[in-house]
Amino acid sequence: MPLSAMTSATEPTRLGEEDLLVVRGLHRTFARPSGFLSPPLETVALKGVSFGLRRGEILGVVGESGCGKSTLARIIVGLETADAGSVHLGGSALIDVEKRQSVPASRRGIQMVFQDPYASLNPRMRVQDIVGEGLAIAGKLSKAERQERVSAMLATVGLSPQDGERYPHQFSGGQRQRIGIARSLVMQPRLLVADEAVSALDVSVQMQVLNLMLDIRERLGISMMFITHNIGVVEYLCDRVIVLSQGGIVESGETRSVIADPQHPYTQRLIAAVPQL
């Protein structure tokens, strides 16, 4: 049984054949050292999170703010470290706390799409430099080759190559999000992690970006982990979903079955609170 098929976080974890990403027992505590008059403060962001993500699937991660979903994403992409547990991608370890292993972010083959279409693009850089930044850091391609890749990627996300000459402020929120997606795709990642990638967008634009995500999966076969608080987005986009509450997975499974028949009280509350038309 692949790890991704399990419905409860407490089942024994096993590496499945179909799983691209396998997360086991991820643990993270944030500690604030004691200050002048304040005692030390510990918050548990993640307590033993285990799940699998299948090749080619879009996995939704839902939960209220502070449930640890952003921390989870940041650990997987390499912006944050874990206290315990392991993360494997395609069978090789990215993080293994026991073995003191941690692959640098740039060599993980994972890219991220961010929430804020304004803060995620450097306002002083041209779009082509933003999209080509990762390639420039890697330094393997000539400038002309980089340009070519960037132009092709801009076309893939529905922008024109001439847009590369412009600056972020000349674009709308939806277009900026496309630029951010192009930036991550140009690195040819095996997994895309999107953290609330459509929640700052207008409804009319949100659907364009969701459809772009589906197109990308179809055409490039990229697997995705999509973090959101919007149940509607999960229903539309995600094949399977895991529900996080207070740092732990409380429910997981096929999107349709989880939403139709939520088992955990928190999931039930979450779904009941969404006004249905």
Partner 1 sequence: MQRMQWLDLKFIVGVLCLGSVVFLAAFGTILSPHDAGEQNLLMALEPPWNFAEGHVLGTDHLGRDILARMTSGARVSLAIAGAVVVISGVVGVLIGSLSGYLSGTRDMVIQKVVETFWAFPPVLLAIAVLAFLGQSLGNVIFALALQRWIPYCRIARAQALTIRSKEYIAASRIMGGGTVWVLRRHVLPNVMASAIIVATFTMATAILAESSLSFLGLGVPPSVPTWGGMLAEGRSYISRAWWLAVFPGLGIFVTVLGLNLLGDWARDQFDPKPGINLV
Partner 2 sequence: MTSRDAPMPAAAAPVSATLTGGERPTLEARNLTLSIRLGQRMAVVVRDASFTIAPGEVFALVGESGSGKSVMARSIMRLMPPSVVQMEGELRLGDVDLIGADPRRLRGLRGNRMSMIFQEPMTSLNPLMTVEAQIDEIIKVHRGGSEQQRRERILGLLADVQFARPAQVAKMFPHELSGGMRQRAMIALALANDPALLIADEPTTALDVTIQQEIMEILMRLRQSYRLSVLFISHDLSLVYRYADSIGVLYGGVMVEQGAAREIIRTPRHPYTKALLDCIPRARRPGERQAGIEGSVPRIDDWFTGCRFAPRCAYRQADCAEREIPLQVTGEGRNARCLYPL
The site for partner 2 (CB under 8 A) is made up of 64-65, 172-175, 202-208, 210-211, 214, 229-233, 235-237, 255-256, 259, 269-270, 273-277
Which residue has 């098929």 as its token pair? 5
| 229 to 31, 64, 96, 170, 175: CA distances (angstroms) | 26, 7, 29, 29, 22
18, 83, 133, 235: residue in contact with partner 1 (rule CB under 8 A): 133
Is 167 one of the binding residues for partner 1 (CB under 8 A)? no
Residues 56-75 that bind partner 1 (CB under 8 A): 74
Q: Shortest CA distance to 141 belongs to which of 132, 152, 153?
A: 132
Q: Closest separation between CB of residue 93 and partner 2, Å?
A: 33
Instruction: Work out whether 184 is an interface residue with partner 1 (CB under 8 A).
Output: yes
Q: Report in angstroms how near the CB of residue 148 gets to partner 1 at its nearest.
A: 18
C-alpha closest to that of 149 among 165, 163, 132, 133: 132
SS3 157: coil
Is the alpha carbon torsion for 3, 105, 139, 189 positive or negative? positive
- Reading the block at residue 159, the tokens are 């922008």
Query: At 82, is the secondary structure helix, strand, or coil?
Result: coil
Helix axes 173-185, 143-156, angle to 10 degrees: 130
Q: Is 120 in the site for partner 1 (CB under 8 A)?
A: yes
Alpha carbon distance 159, 182 (integer Å)? 9
124 binds, among partner 1, partner 2, none (CB under 5 to 8 A by kind): partner 1
106 binds, among partner 2, partner 1, none (CB under 5 to 8 A by kind): partner 1
Give least dist CB 87 to partner 1, A: 14
Residue 173 interacts with, from partner 2, partner 1, none (CB under 5-8 Å by kind): partner 2
Binding site for partner 1 (CB under 8 A): 74, 77-79, 104-107, 110-112, 114-116, 119-122, 124-125, 130, 133-134, 137-138, 180, 183-184, 187
